[in-house]
Structure 1
Amino acid sequence: MFTSYRRILTYPGTLRFSMIGLVARLPISMVGLGIVLLVSAARDSYGVAGAVSAAFMVANAGFAILQGRLLDRLGQATVLAAASVGFGIGTSLLVASVQADWPIATSYVFAAVSGAFLPQIGSSVRARWSHVLDQPSELQTAFALEAVLDEAVFIVGPIVVTLLATTWHPVAGLAVAIVACVSGTLAFSAQRSTEPPAHARSSTSGPRPAMPWATVVPLAVVSAALGVLFGAAEVTTVAFADEQGHKAWSGGLLALWALGSLTAGVITGAVHWRRGPATRVRWGAVAMACAMSPLYFVDSLPLMGCTLFVAGFAIAPTMIATMSLTEEAVPSGRLTEGMAIMQTGLVAGVAPGATLSGLVVDHQGASAAYLVSVGAGLVAALAAQLLPRSGPGVSQVTDGSTIAA
């Protein structure tokens, strides 16, 4: 089963940049929660803490596409190194502003600086895989590997930052995030042999290649809707565990959800699919909506854990297909930008999903709030049906080594 993974990791430099990329992107699951833990401890206000964390996330979403465009034009080594330094400075100043009790406005500004400079490692790693590999089946496996590593990041990061902030010092979690980001990103950007070539524009190079918006826009909507689904499900699951009298179990429930996704991601990468990624995105988005529907009817913690584990199986295959279709449809000169658009859509959807589900929890209870995730899944499914029925990403492979999707 793992032959596919072993094969792609034998290419020179691939194991190294993938594992270093794992360390470098740990902050994406640590900083937002770390800010909440730091500011709430200093200001005794979760409202202020959440607002400062939101400033970080909004800036990150707003500048991710610009950074992706710069990565394509100037190259990863230059842009990622500068971004990591900017992130380290911005986050350090944020910590200093909170600890020194500077005016809260400074914390908002430094949180925004930190978010704006957060290196786009996930997009950069996938762009490297696209540069190194030329077989669609191998690229599918590589994207599956990165989806699995993303799940690992979102399992490990929150646990690490919470333990450090609550058992050692509120600053400790963010300090580790800074070290992981700066050291990991600099080590990643120093690997020049696997770096995709820059596509700098000049007076003789002509216009930039056109972005295939007919594919990118529906995919971005799918990503944003899935972000809403994720944000809503996380808040709702915490509320559900609280209603059951076992709030501490909420982390375990969410870990089971992530474990289901991780398992499905491993399987997806080991399979060669007959259907193109556009078809898999359509079916995957429908599966996401269907998988969240039973949660409304669950009324016990053990059954909720089992249901979430099964529901998680729809996540990674859908996200892998989304990135695979982006890679096939977007010109190489704008690939990192295209990947960043998907990542931005996903991140941008989390906060609205969390907010909306929180309102439903307050007025109707946790079970009803799962319907927010169902609704987001339906939006993703509808958007996926708008993807082009011909062109890149919809071809079917029919050799004997494949199995039907």
Structure 2
Amino acid sequence: MLTPYRRVLATPGAVRFSLSAFVGRLPISMISLGIVLLVEGATGSYATAGTVASAYLLANAFFAIVHGRLVDRFGQATVLPLAQGLFTGALALMAWAAQDDWGSLAVHGFAALAGATLPQLGACVRARWSWVLEEPRQVQTAYAFESVVDEVVFVTGPTLVTFLATAWHPVAGLAVAGATGLVGAITLAAQRGTQPPARWDGSRTDVGERPPMPWLVVVPLAVVCVALGAVFGSVEVITVAFSEEQGAKAWAGPLLALWAIGSLSAGVVSGAINWRTPPESRVGWGVLALGLATAPLLLVDSMWLMGVLLLLGGMAIAPTLIATMSVVEREVPTGRLTEGMAIVHTGLGIGIAPGAALAGMLIDEHGANPAYVVPLAAGVLGFAAAWCGRRIVTGSRAMP
């Protein structure tokens, strides 16, 4: 089963750029949770913590497209170090503002600035795979591998940031996130031999004119990803609150890590399977499965049972995201691939923000368990969007 992975990792430079991107991506699993832990500790309100995290995530989502265009236009070596430097500075100011009570506007503003400047390393590393590999099957395997790496990030990050914030200092987790992001982004940018050239058109030559974006493909995928994002954002905030209600707030990170472990294990299997079901169909069914998997969480009052259910529910994450990226890679012109992937990630970010904020409000009013209705509803709505559109890839291809 692991043979396809060994083949793609044997590509010259692949291990180096994938490892660099792994280190650089650790902040994506640490920042929003770190913000929740920091701001809730300073204000005592999950609703406020959720809105600050939402400001960060929304800005990151909206500016992801800008980052994608800049990377496609000027190249990773130029854009990544500059963006990462701005992100690190904004993150430090946000933490300082929260700790010294500069006011809600300052905290939200610096959080938004940090989100706007965070480089899109996930899109960048996938663009590198598409550049160094020529066989579509190998590219899909590489995307599956990166989805597994994403889950390793989400296993490591929440546990690390929770431990640092609760056992040492609320700012410690964010400090480590900023440092790892800086090291990873600069290391990745330095590897010029495997990066796609600026304005790459897929023919391994530079061109000046951008190919058109297939919006009929990209927009429906982005809408479905909004629902996925709402599931991610709400579950993260609710799980922290659930752990606190159970008197074990420090275990929020490990619970979220179990969710990611379920996704990781399913992602490994998904990447090794030669699927007969087209990826556009797997996207719709996957988001529905993810939403429905949160329904039992409405009634759970045991940390152990919560962990088991999160582990099982997480198995729907990676296969859905792998299918989404496979559709993007297949349908979007290579000259705009980073931008296309950034647009899909924008959908995730747009969904994460209101999902986290709405969950925070329900937690403050009704407690943690009832708030799990947010990811349940998001999953159902995501499936409805994919089903009703019936044109997730082309104007004539319908979901079965």
* Normalised TM-score (structure 1): 0.86
Deviation at 1:348, TM superposition (A): 1.7
Q: Which residue type is aligned with residue 92 of structure 2?
A: S
Give, in whole Å, the separation in 2 of the partners of 1:49 and 1:366.
15
CA contact (8 A) 2:331 2:393 kept: no
Change (3 A) 1:78 1:210: same
- Residue of structure 1 equivalent to 2:121: 121
Matched, 1:190 2:216: no
Aligned residue among 266, 276, 282 for 2:278: 276
Q: Which residue type is aligned with residue 284 of structure 1?
A: G
SS in 2 for 1:193: helix
SS in 1 for 2:111: helix
- Residue of structure 2 equivalent to 1:375: 377
Matched, 1:388 2:391: yes
Equivalence map 1:30-41=2 (5 Å): 30-38=30-38
Equivalence map 1:25-174=2 (5 Å): 25-38=25-38, 50-97=50-97, 105-174=105-174
**Residue by residue, what CA displacement relative to the aligned partner does 1:249-291 show, whole Å, maximum 9, x if unpaired?**
5444333222111110111112121232112213323322343
Give, in whole Å, the separation in 1 of the partners of 2:179 and 2:167.
19
Deviation at 1:372, TM superposition (A): 2.3
**Residue by residue, what CA displacement relative to the aligned partner does 1:35-93 show, whole Å, maximum 9, x if unpaired?**
44455666777666554444322321221111111111111111112111212232334
Matched, 1:234 2:236: yes
Matched, 1:334 2:336: yes
Change (3 A) 1:387 1:81: farther
Give, in whole Å, the separation in 1 of the partners of 2:366 and 2:104.
34
CA contact (8 A) 1:215 1:387 kept: no
Deviation at 1:2, TM superposition (A): 1.2
CA contact (8 A) 1:231 1:350 kept: yes
- Residue of structure 2 equivalent to 1:398: none
Deviation at 1:365, TM superposition (A): 5.2
- Highest CA radius of gyration, 1 or 2? 1
- Residue of structure 2 equivalent to 1:400: none
* Normalised TM-score (structure 2): 0.87
**Residue by residue, what CA displacement relative to the aligned partner does 1:109-159 show, whole Å, maximum 9, x if unpaired?**
433322211111011111111111122221222111111111121222222
CA contact (8 A) 1:219 1:383 kept: no
SS in 1 for 2:271: helix
Q: RMSD in angstroms over aligned alpha carbons?
A: 3.1
CA contact (8 A) 1:24 1:180 kept: yes
- Residue of structure 2 equivalent to 1:402: none
- Residue of structure 2 equivalent to 1:320: 322
Give, in whole Å, the separation in 2 of the partners of 1:393 and 1:145.
31
- Residue of structure 2 equivalent to 1:3: 3
Change (3 A) 1:390 1:216: closer
**Residue by residue, what CA displacement relative to the aligned partner does 1:178-215 show, whole Å, maximum 9, x if unpaired?**
221222111101111110121189xx967532211111
SS in 2 for 1:30: helix
- Residue of structure 2 equivalent to 1:399: none
Give, in whole Å, the separation in 2 of the partners of 1:65 and 1:145.
23
- Residue of structure 1 equivalent to 2:356: 354
CA contact (8 A) 1:329 1:393 kept: no
Moved more, 151-160 or 8-17: 151-160
CA contact (8 A) 2:47 2:361 kept: no
Q: Which residue type is aligned with residue 374 of structure 1?
A: L
Equivalence map 1:293-304=2 (5 Å): 293-296=295-298, 298=300, 300-304=302-306
CA contact (8 A) 2:55 2:111 kept: yes
Change (3 A) 1:244 1:45: closer
Change (3 A) 1:70 1:286: same
Give, in whole Å, the separation in 2 of the partners of 1:92 and 1:239.
25
Q: Which residue type is aligned with residue 163 of structure 2?
A: L
Q: Which residue type is aligned with residue 211 of structure 2?
A: P
Give, in whole Å, the separation in 2 of the partners of 1:145 and 1:109.
35
- Residue of structure 2 equivalent to 1:255: 257
Change (3 A) 1:305 1:91: closer
CA contact (8 A) 1:276 1:394 kept: no
Change (3 A) 1:278 1:62: same
SS in 1 for 2:199: coil
Change (3 A) 1:387 1:331: farther
Number of aligned pairs? Answer: 393
Deviation at 1:339, TM superposition (A): 0.6
Deviation at 1:331, TM superposition (A): 0.8
CA contact (8 A) 2:226 2:351 kept: yes
SS in 2 for 1:199: coil
Deviation at 1:170, TM superposition (A): 3.7
SS in 1 for 2:153: helix
Percent of pairs with identical residues: 54
Q: Which residue type is aligned with residue 34 of structure 1?
A: G
